Amino acid sequence: MPQLLLRRNPPIAYRYLVQVFRTFSSMPPVEKPGFDKYDFVVIGGGSAGVASARRAASYGKKVALIEGTNTLGGTCVNVGCVPKKIMWYAADIAERLRAAASYGFPDAVSTSAPLKFDWSTFKSKRDAYVKRLNGIYESNLNREHVEYHQGWARIKDPHTIEVTRDDGSVYTLNTEVIGITTGGRPTIPSEEKIPGASLGINSDGFFALNEQPKRVAVVGAGYIAVELAGVFNALGTETHLLIRHDKVLRTFDPSLQETLTDWMEHTGVHIHKRTSVTKLEGGNGNPITVHTADGSTIEVDTVLWAIGRHANTESLGLENVGVKTDKEGNIIVDQYQSTGVPSIYAYGDVAGKALLTPVAIAAGRRLANRVFGPPQFKDDKLSYDNIPTVVFAHPTIGTVGLTEPQAREKYGDAVKIYKSSFKAMYFGMLPEDHREPSMFKLIVVGDEEKVVGIHIIGMGSDEIMQGFGVAVKMGARKKDLDDTVAIHPTSAEELVTLR
On whether the CB atoms of residues 234 and 211 are closer than 8 A, the answer is no
What does residue 355 show for φ and ψ, rounded to 5 degrees?
A: -75, 75
Spatial distance between the Cα atoms of 102 and 434, rounded to a whole number of angstroms: 11
Identity at 444, one-letter amino acid code: V
On whether the CB atoms of residues 455 and 254 are closer than 8 A, the answer is no
Spatial distance between the Cα atoms of 181 and 143, rounded to a whole number of angstroms: 21
Q: If phi over 0 gives left and psi between -120 and 50 gives alpha, with beta otherwise, what is residue 210?
A: alpha
Spatial distance between the Cα atoms of 130 and 132, rounded to a whole number of angstroms: 5
What does residue 221 show for φ and ψ, rounded to 5 degrees?
A: -125, 5
Spatial distance between the Cα atoms of 62 and 65, rounded to a whole number of angstroms: 10
How far, CA to CA in Å, does 59 sit from each of 42, 276, 285? 15, 52, 54
Cis peptide, bond prior to residue 489, ω within 30 of zero:
yes
Q: Which residues contact 287 (CB under 8 A, 6 or more apart)?
A: 215, 299, 300, 301
Spatial distance between the Cα atoms of 374 and 269, rounded to a whole number of angstroms: 53
Cis peptide, bond prior to residue 395, ω within 30 of zero:
yes
For residue 110, give the 3-state DSSP assignment.
coil
Residues known to be catalytic: 488
For residue 128, give the 3-state DSSP assignment.
helix
- The gap between the terminal CA atoms of the chain, to the nearest Å, is 68
Sign of CA dihedral 342, 344, 347, 351: negative
Task: Give the Cβ contact number of residue 29 at 10 Å.
Answer: 19
How far, CA to CA in Å, does 83 sit from each of 134, 182, 308? 12, 20, 19
Spatial distance between the Cα atoms of 272 and 340, rounded to a whole number of angstroms: 45
Nearest in space to 67 (alpha carbons), one of 79, 50, 51, 83: 50
CA triplet 96, 97, 101: central angle to 5 degrees?
105
Nearest in space to 491 (alpha carbons), one of 444, 443, 457: 457
- Treating both helix axes as pointing N-terminal to C-terminal, what angle do 81-99 and 119-143 enclose, rounded to 10 degrees? 140
